[in-house]
Every structure is written in structure tokens, then in C-alpha cells.
Amino acid sequence: MPHERAYNRFSREVRFHGDRVITLDSETLADPERASTYEWLLADGIGGYAASTALGINTRRQHGLLVVATKPPLGRLVLLSKLEETLWLGPERYDLATSFYDGATHPDGYRWAKSFKLDPLPTLTWELPSARLTRTIARTHGEPGVILLYHYEGRGLAILELNPLLAYRDRNALQHENSFVRSDVERGADTVFVSPYDACPRLALRLRGAAWHTASHWYRGFVYPHDRAAGLDFREDLYSPGRFTLPLKPGATAAFSCWAGVVPAKPSASERVAEERTRLRELGSEVDGLTGLLRRAADAFLVRRGETGRLIIASLPGAVVNARDAALALPGLCLATARTRDARAVLLELARMSQAGLFNERLSEWSEESEQPSVTAALLWILAVQRVLDATDEVGFLKVRLKDVLFAALDRLTRGTVPGAILRPDGLLAVEEPDRLGLVSERAPRAAVVIETQALWANALLIGADVATRLGDKARAEPWTALANQTRETVQRELWSEQVGYLADALTPGGPDLTLRPHQLFAIGLPHCLLPADRSLRLLEAVERELLTPAGIHGAASPAADAHERSAWPFLMGLYFDALIRLKGEEGKRRTREWLKAFAPLVDSAGLGFVSERFEEGDAARPAGAPAHAVAVAELLRLCVRVAGKPPAVRAAAAPRS
């Protein structure tokens, strides 16, 4: 099976030592194409991050050592793309960096790469004929800075040369050689300041005890394979303002700091790295197996907005902020980690993004305006409100801070005042161009009545009715309850197919679309089920037979499905197992634990320590999409906590690419 092949091959490439430190071996690192499929990600908690691959080869435009949020958590700029390291041992020069160019890999530092480990900070060791150099990278939490520690072991004096390569552009853009860059450099006591472009942050570069050599130079033609595969522009030019040189004695540690602004004097760079390593380890203990690993991953997606606001990043290194994914991920990222204060803050921040009960799909990166309203986002937010209320029972918070937004959303949908949304006489909610969670092909039949919207709509009505009842508002509670019951009855009458044993995916002008898609799991996996037990079991059996894989749920069971729809999506396992546990109780929990244990080797399949967005063709060896997906991490973590009789151990944690 593909799952087993991926596990067996990966186990030869990756080893685990002690406190579940992920280690890539020298054989893997000697192949730069294979090593570049393993990505590491470090988040700063305010929208910025550092991300690259095991060898430091940037393979997508979002990669960079210092990506900062200029308007936290938005306005992301890639400032420092990478560093090129050279070690001089007497007259011998050793170039340690590696990059991809058209038809070439240069320099060839991968030849000296001995090992890579994530402990949980990415650490790469180069072994030379008579010396060893180890590099550890840390993003400083809550601050726009990155630190790289270099530890040298050798027989004599060495010279470390560091060449910073700057991008200075939007995370989704590319830089090309131009005449606008400013080559002047400002020198401080032990810091170099550069400002390549107007209206961009000044960059502080520090390597204590080093000499700085100003030498303005463009490095042309870096190639990013992920962008090329996606059909995007994939070549970039990077700018270097100069280089540092620093003598190193055997046993010495050098600290390179790069900051947007001024490098703080205290604590020291080494202390900051130690603090960040400790912080990450305390977020999740590896002795808790997959659960502990996912707790640590969950923290990377939570970002601060203002003094008290919190939001959720949809994925890394893509770093999009949208209401739909934030609402979907909130229960796993916040409630499963006992971060109820953050859960409340996320709900409030999403509510502030709404206008008269309409939730905007995503925040614009550079303007104050949000993008188009989303009915799905509003319904998912209401579901998240119920999850938080179940976990905290804070009716006062609900009444004072959330009630008005929740009631406004349902009032507008029931009254038909939401553009593009129509409440039909039979209780079904029709939405023009419904958000289908990114799972449906462009070629699929267009429909306004889709099954997941009906499930979310009925659940939102019943949640709203419950809230109204708690707050003494029977004028809303009773009609909302009646409407939810009508929606449920219509779904069973109009969308259920006795012949195939599951629900129609949508009602199209040509009749019911009986393509089996995972969207109907919403009908049986949400808190309020739309089907009786016998039909729910038949639906679940169809999903198990046609869509379930060891890597997630397929996007469609159809000969016409495209590659995207044939992918398996891990985040859908949350709905699947919620339904299974509802129907089969302890047996469902046992099967959930078994699946999580089998899936654990894939957790590091692309983003080390994270969960990939999807797997092509359901093949565990072919991770695709975002290497770190918030909803996938959240849903698997929520399942781990729900069935936490015995957390699944992580024996291995990635799948190699063929």
C-alpha cells in the first residue's frame, strides 16, 4: 500500500532520538532535491515567521529567514531571504549554502551536510575534513527578529563569512534586479543598518566581533520549484549589501541577529534562543506522542492583533487570515489546548470583522477593507460560539459580547436580506457560488443548494434558538427551532437517495447531484444530526467504502474527479470520526485511535512537526498544498483529546516524496 511504502522509505531517511528529535540523515541531505522536500517553520506569534527547508534551500516564494508583519498580523514582507555561509580553514574555502538555479545547484554546501535535526529548533551540521560547524535558527516570539547561532569545532582558527541576501517584497511577490535599491549602509557600534527601499522597514544586522565589508551585489536567477510546479513565476534575484567575516576559535559560538528595527540589547542572542527552545518544548511534550506534537504545532497558527485581539492563520507559510478557517480551527487550536481566553479573543476578533452579521471571507493584506462576505464563515462562527459555550458555560460573555452579532446573522438570513442568499419556502438555504471548502473542481455542476450549507444552517438555527432560550428571547427561539426542523425534514425528503444510500451533494437545475463528496459528513458529524441513525450508518458506510484513506478523506468519488478532488484531506477526519463515535460509541473511539496511530508517521510529511493540507491521490508519499495547515492540525488534535484514553505514539513522522 502507498501508506506503508511511504512509512518504510521515510523510516530509512529520518531517525528519532531522545525527546523525539527529528533527524535527517547524511544520505538524505546529500540529495538536495530530496532534502528540500522537508520544510521547517517557526512562527513569531504576530503574523511573521521563518521558513525554509532542511538544507536552507528556499523552494517557494514565501520562504525566508525573516518574514515580518508590518501591520500585525498582516502586511507580511520577506526581508531576509537567506544567508550564504562560507567557512575558511586556512587557505581552504568551504561554501556551505545550497540554492537552486536553472539547471544547476549552487553552491554545493550539501556535500558537507552531516545531519539535520528539529529539537524543536532547526539545526543543521556541516562536517568538513578537519572541522564541524553547526547552525541553529530561532524566531523570537512576539518580536520581528531572527537569530542564527553558529558553533564551531575544529583544530585551529577558522573564518566564518556570512552573506545576507535580501528580498524586501510582499510574501507573494518576487524581486528582480532593479536600479531603485539603495546601497548605502549605516554603521553602528556592532550593528549594520540597511534600508534598500523607501517606505520599508530598516533592517539591523549584527554579528558581534565581526568585520563588515560593504559590497553591493545582485545574485540572479534563484529558482523556486514549488512556484514552478504551481504554474507561477519562479525566478527571483536577491540583493546583498555586503558580508560579515568573523574569526572563530575551536569551541566558539557566534550569534547572527537580524531585526526589523533595532536589535534589543538584552537578553543576549544565546539566551533568546534558549528561551524559545524552552517555550516550544513546554507547549507540547513529546511523551504525549501525537497529541503533544500537535499542541506545539497549534501555537504557530495563533497570532496577536493589537493588545488583546487574537486571530488564526489558515496555513504556513502561506499565512492567510480568513474567517472560515479560523472558525473551523478554533475548537482544536484553542479549546483542545485549554486556551479558552484565546478562544474568546478569536471569536471577538472575528465578530469585529463582521458587518451587520455578515462575515468577510478574509482580511486584505494591505488595506483596511475585508474581502467578500461569506455565508459559510458566518455559520461556522456560530458553530464555534457553541463550542466555546460548551467548554466554558460563560453565558455572560455570550450575552454581552457575542449575542448581537449572532442574532444579526440569523435575522438577516431568515429575512432574506443577505446578498446572494435566499431562504427557500421549504427551509433550504440557497447561496450563490457557495463556499465548498476548496474541495470541488471548477468543472463540477454549479448549484446554490449544497448539502454542507444545509447542515450548517440547521445547526446554526438550533444553536441560535438555544442561545435565545438561555437569554429569555422566545420570540426568536421558537421560529428558529421550527425552521431548523423544516430544513432537516426537507433534506431527508429532497436530498436523500434510497437507491445509493447517501445524500445528494447538491440540488442542480438538472436534478440532484449524486456525486459522493465528503461535504455530506456535515449532515451527520455536526452537533445536530440531520439524519436518523439507520440512514447515517448507510451514509457513513458509503464514505468508508469510496472516500476513506489512511491519509484522509478523498474530495470526490467520481470518474470525472480531477487531481484536486482525488486528493485526500486530513481535516475531514474530524467530521468523519465525530459521526462514527456518535453512531458506534466506544468502538468508534477505538477506531479513531487506530487511525490516528496509523496517520502519525505522516505528520511531518512536508512541514516538519505539522500536518499537510492534503495528499495527492490519497497517497501518503505525496503531500500537497500547504505544508502546515491550521484546520488539519486542529481537527486531528481535537480528535486526540476526545479519545485520549491513550495518546497515539509517534514512531515516525514523515513520508518521503517519490
**Do 105 and 229 fall into the same domain?**
yes
**Do 146 and 196 fall into the same domain?**
yes
The tally of domains found in the chain comes to 3
pLDDT at 370: 56
What is the Cα–Cα distance from 226 to 629, expressed in whole angstroms?
A: 16
DSSP element (H, E) containing 311:
strand 309-312
Instruction: Dump pLDDT digits (tens) for 510-529.
Output: 999 999 999 999 999 999 99
**Do 131 and 246 fall into the same domain?**
yes
Cβ–Cβ under 8 Å, residues 451 and 506: yes
pLDDT at 579: 98
pLDDT at 646: 44
Residue 7's SS3 state is: helix
Instruction: Dump pLDDT digits (tens) for 598-633.
Output: 999 888 778 999 999 999 987 888 999 999 999 999
Q: Which residue positions in the chain have pLDDT lower than 50?
A: 1-12, 14-19, 646-658
Which of 514, 538, 563 corresponds to the end of one domain? Answer: 514
CATH number at residue 137: 2.70.98
Cβ–Cβ under 8 Å, residues 520 and 505: yes
pLDDT at 189: 81
Range of the domain at 158: 39-281
Which of 414, 439, 470 corresponds to the end of one domain? Answer: 414
Q: Please name which of 230, 315, 314, 332 lies closest in space to residue 626, comparing C-alpha atoms.
A: 315
pLDDT at 365: 84
- What separation, in Å, do the N-terminal and C-terminal C-alpha atoms of the chain show? 14
DSSP element (H, E) containing 629:
strand 628-629
What is the Cα–Cα distance from 193 to 166, expressed in whole angstroms?
A: 13
What is the Cα–Cα distance from 595 to 598, expressed in whole angstroms?
A: 5
Which of 379, 414, 449 corresponds to the end of one domain? Answer: 414
**Do 352 and 245 fall into the same domain?**
no
Residue 309's SS3 state is: strand
Query: In sequence order, what are the beta bridge partners of 315?
Result: 629
DSSP element (H, E) containing 344:
helix 340-353
**Do 97 and 230 fall into the same domain?**
yes
pLDDT at 13: 57
Concatenated DSSP letters of 141-163: TTSSEEEEEEEEEESS-EEEEEE
Backbone angles phi, psi at 167, to 5 degrees: -105, -50
Task: Give helix 340-353 / helix 375-392 axis angle, nearest 10°.
Answer: 150
Cis bond before residue 241 (omega within 30° of 0): no
Instruction: Dump pLDDT digits (tens) for 178-201.
Output: 999 999 999 988 899 999 999 899
**Do 82 and 205 fall into the same domain?**
yes
pLDDT at 410: 97
Grid cell locating 567: 486528493
Q: Number of helices (H) and strands (E) in the chain: give both, helices first.
A: 19, 39
**Do 131 and 268 fall into the same domain?**
yes
| Pure H helices in 427-572 | 451-470, 474-490, 521-525, 533-546, 563-566
